[in-house]
Chains A and B, each alone.
Chain A
């Protein structure tokens, strides 16, 4: 009973945090002399107003599910991975290169292989901060941020040096048809990737609820000394957790390349890696929570564009709302205080 109540209160806090964030967003819009009603209705229409808009929302949701999972998985072992952005770039880059060089393989082998390559590239990138954390205690927040810059620079360097398509724009050639994920609805760029994402969410849920390894990782996250005393190597679990986390961010990059861009382009991300933080925090680090939080932020991303076009409100307001959501979800004490009044 108490447990169930707690579950609901988790959801309740998240909802209140969202409402608060939107209320402050409204205040900002109002203060800058713009029309709140018009803004928010454009936002909603842009995200859900038509089938096409909804497909665009789902398209934006996919990478957020992965980057959200990446942050949530890090948290499970007590680590805050804000390197999702860099890991995603690595994933996207390696995905594109692998697909281009292995284009002779049939789809049925190529697609899983390329996905795996993208995920592993992300893992490799997140391994470094994980390893440094366990070996030296260097705070993962600082090191993952630095790895973001390094990752984005490194992919851009490799692209420009070795893989650039002839032409002025820094991008690779297209990946072969056989490595692309099939579209669900024509011209929507919404692909099978959505099912991959949902499938991964379910896998993660089972992993943490049912498996021994999931149990060990969470024990480390909750009390690493007790884990050590019980014979669970917290270092090993943290590094492993970091690598699973990076794998997810890598998948975000892989699915974007395979489903949306069909090539690697520098600076392709509108900050999916960072939005993943808000997704994870709002989803309370639970896989299913991440799924719904990603849908919300996917909708904001899509609706934000419409809002900018029709209500003349810069879509960066969505970033403001992200920040507010993180701050509010992080402070149940504040929400309790507000509720008491």
Chain B
């Protein structure tokens, strides 16, 4: 029996067609994967289902009845629940407050906290979610936060649970325990829609898979009748190289050296502790870790945006510990920031202004900007890095995510750097752009530059990096040339190997 049926769903944003005539059936009690690349339209489709967007055309049937779902409120009433990729949790409130908000148990007009906590504990026990009702959300682990999200949905008596890229922020071990929970939910009669772009997960967890590409349904297949290779082909539309070719190379002299660096936050909270990293010429060094374990702090420390309390940072043998960002850049540091829109670009400025950002002093003569020189330089970068745009006067917010990232990368690689700090360089861009970016990073390695790659993508680290360091709670807990996925997973979760 089909519990959900999409018929001819179409949704456009401006000139972009996110969903085009989607037909899809979800069976009751199954785990159904929606597989596709970034921008394939998976999230748009479930956002329509959950009432966050309205479709332009098409209908949704729930348990056979046509439903007009125009708000999340309506979706919740229909028994739908969504676990968002970016958790919808208020950091400063307790887990219980987060769970009950909007549907609070009441006593004499007040929130009945005692009863609320009891209920939370009951559901938590039923599905082995082990959520502590009194904990403040910002103090618990990412895995537990996700379980709070699941609890939120179960508390609202959802029968259909939608998971949007739930594994993106988890360690392999946390993924395994999530899958146990999913199977338990399935055994309890719930229907699960699982959005992902990872083939391995799809094969492991789902009963059926629907592959989406460029807003269209390619096919729906039974998981037992397919293979990762076949799925990959459907997903991308061509044969894919699952591994990048990397030539063997001997590394040269040390370029960046971080010695015993420690950084403290508010109330003396340690953010980085006794960090030692060295990056050599012609080498890509990877930093692996679960988000929030000090990566951003490390990135900002190297870039000169944080004042460290102990230790030294050397660039080409010169002590740059006390130097500001500007001076570090002057000495050949390039930086691809982890969040391009927040920290890498000025979205409301034009392309040219963004292309000279960080290197602007090179285009200044007696305090005036040299407009012709800027124009020529910008055109060159746009061409070389294949940034798709209409003109130099376009604002950056008119570009797609992939093109924005190419702009940042083009800008940072074109200043003839000696060291490149690349943080999450492929976050949120499509496969084509990922390949392009990886090639560029390998290219720069070939030119004997030093690269420090901070990434949450294990595949990316394992295929690009010559050495990998694992960061956990602000410490480097391990360093090796090669790891297996499982080893990395354990280390990232703070476990020891063997």
Q: Which residues of A contact B (CB under 8 A)?
A: 2-3, 210-213, 215-216, 218-219, 222-223, 225-233
- Please name all residues of chain A whose beta carbon is closer than 8 Å to the beta carbon of B347 when the two chains form the complex: 222-223
Cβ 8 A contact of B346, one of A210, A212, A222: A222
Q: Are B360 and A222 in contact (CB under 8 A)?
A: no
- Lowest 10 A-B CB distances belong to which pairs? A231-B326, A230-B358, A212-B364, A231-B325, A223-B346, A225-B343, A230-B357, A222-B346, A229-B343, A231-B329
Number of A-B contacts (CB under 8 A): 75
Complex: A312 Cα to B372 Cα, angstroms: 58
Contact (Cβ within 8 A) A231 B358? yes
Asked if B353 and A225 sit within 8 Å, CB to CB, the answer is no
Query: Which residues on the B side are within 8 Å of A212 (C-beta)?
Result: 360-361, 363-364, 367-369
> Hey, which chain A residues are within 8 Å of B344, CB to CB?
226, 229
- Cα-based distance from A215 to B367 in the complex (angstroms): 10
Q: B364–A226 contact, CB under 8 A?
A: no
**Considering the chains assembled together, what is the distance between the CA atoms of A229 and B336 in angstroms?**
9
9 A-B contact pairs sorted by A residue (CB < 8 Å): A211-B367, A212-B364, A212-B368, A219-B346, A222-B349, A223-B348, A226-B346, A230-B357, A231-B324
**With contacts A216-B360, A223-B346 known, is A229 near B368, CB below 8 A?**
no
**Docked complex Cα distance between A192 and B304 (Å):** 49
In whole Å, how far is A224's beta carbon from the nearest beta carbon of chain B? Answer: 10
Interface string of B267-311 (1 = CB under 8 A from A): 000000000000000000000000000000000000111000000
| Residue B449 is within 8 A (CB to CB) of chain A in the complex | no
Q: Given the complex of chains A and B, what is the CA–CA distance between A226 and B396 in angstroms?
A: 13
Q: Which of A2, A3, A211, A226 contacts B369 (CB 8 A)?
A: A211
**B335 near A: Cβ within 8 Å?**
yes
Q: A218 CA to B350 CA in the complex, in Å?
A: 12
11 A-B pairs besides A3-B393, A212-B368, A232-B326 with CB distance below 8 A are A210-B368, A210-B369, A211-B364, A212-B363, A216-B360, A219-B357, A223-B346, A228-B325, A229-B343, A230-B358, A230-B360
Of A216, A226, A229, chain B has the most CB atoms within 10 Å of the CB of A229
Separation of A212 and B353 alpha carbons in the complex (Å): 11
Q: Is the interface of A mostly helix, strand, loop or mixed?
A: helix
B362, chain A: closest CB distance, angstroms: 10
**Given that A212-B360, A212-B364 are contacting pairs, would A225 and B369 also be in contact in the complex, using a CB cutoff of 8 Å?**
no
A229-B361 Cα distance, complex, nearest whole Å:
15
With A222-B348, A222-B349: A229-B369 Cβ-Cβ less than 8 Å: no
For the complex, what is the distance from the CA of A2 to the CA of B390, rounded to whole Å?
Answer: 11
- Interface class of chain B by DSSP: mixed
Which size class do B's interface residues fall under? 20 to 34
* Minimum CB distance partner of B337 in chain A: A229
* Residue ID in chain A nearest B358 by CB atoms: A230
Chain B 322-339 interface mask (CB, 8 Å, partner A; 1/0): 001111110000010100
Asked if B342 CB lies within 8 Å of chain A CBs, one says yes
Q: A157 to nearest B CB, angstroms? A: 40
The interface residues of chain A lying within 8 Å CB-to-CB of B348 are 222-223
Q: Does B211 interact with chain A (Cβ within 8 Å)?
A: no
Q: Say yes or no: is B453 at the interface (Cβ < 8 Å to chain A).
A: no
CA distance A212 to B367 in the complex (A): 5
A213–B363 CA distance with the chains assembled, in angstroms: 12
Q: How far is the CA of A230 from the CA of B360 in the complex (A)?
A: 9
**Quick one: closest B residue to A6, CB to CB?**
B395
Query: B411-456: which residues lie under 8 A (CB-CB) from chain A?
Result: none
Please, which residue of chain A has its CB at the minimum distance from the CB of B353?
A215
What residue in chain A is nearest B357 (Cβ atoms)?
A230
User: Which of A2, A222, A231, A232 is packed against the most chain B CB atoms within 10 Å?
Assistant: A231
The closest CB in chain B to the CB of A206 belongs to B368
By the criterion CB–CB under 8 Å, are A215 and B346 in contact? Answer: no
Q: How far is A231 from B344 in the complex, measured between Cα atoms in Å? A: 11
Residues of B within 8 A of A211 (CB): 364, 367-369
Q: B345 interface residue, CB < 8 Å from A?
A: yes
Complex-state Cα separation, A215 to B368, whole angstroms: 10
Q: How far is the CB of B61 from chain A (nearest CB, A)?
A: 34
Whether A226 and B343, one on each chain, are in contact in the complex, defined by CB atoms closer than 8 angstroms, is yes
- The smallest beta-carbon distance between B409 and chain A, in angstroms, is 14
Contacts of A230 in B (CB 8 A): 325, 329, 357-358, 360
- Residues of the B chain whose Cβ atoms lie less than 8 Å from the Cβ of A231: 304, 324-329, 358
- Give A232 to B324 CA distance when docked, in angstroms: 10
Would A219 and B324 be within 8 Å (CB), given that A210-B368, A212-B367, A226-B357 are in contact?
no
Whole-angstrom CA separation of A211 from B368 in the bound complex:
4
Provide the residues of chain B in CB contact with A223, threshold 8 Å: 342-343, 345-348
Q: Which of B342, B367, B371 contacts A213 (CB 8 A)?
A: B367
Contact A233 B357, CB 8 Å, known A222-B346, A222-B348: no
Nearest A-chain residue to B340, judged by Cβ = A226
CA distance A228 to B304 in the complex (A): 9
Q: Is A225 touching B342 in the complex (CB atoms < 8 A)? A: yes
Q: How far is the CA of A228 from the CA of B324 in the complex (A)?
A: 10
**Assembly CA distance A215 to B393 (angstroms):** 15
Q: How far is the CA of A208 from the CA of B327 in the complex (A)?
A: 24
CA distance A219 to B346 in the complex (A): 7
Q: Which residues of B contact A233 (CB under 8 A)?
A: 324, 326
Is A229 within 8 A of B360, CB to CB?
Answer: no
Per the 8 Å Cβ criterion, residues 143-157 of B in contact with A are none
Nearest CB of chain A from residue B187's CB, rounded to whole Å = 46
A-side contacts of B324, CB under 8 Å: 231, 233
Q: What's the nearest-Cβ distance from chain A to residue B128, in Å? A: 41
What is the bound-complex CA distance between A213 and B367, given in angstroms? 7
With A and B bound together, what is the CA distance between A215 and B346 in angstroms? 12
Q: Which residue of A lies closest to B330 (CB)?
A: A231
The answer to whether B325 and A229 touch across the interface, beta carbons within 8 angstroms, is: yes
Residues of B within 8 A of A219 (CB): 346, 349, 353, 357
Closest to B364 in A: A212
Bound complex: CA A3 to CA B305 (Å): 35
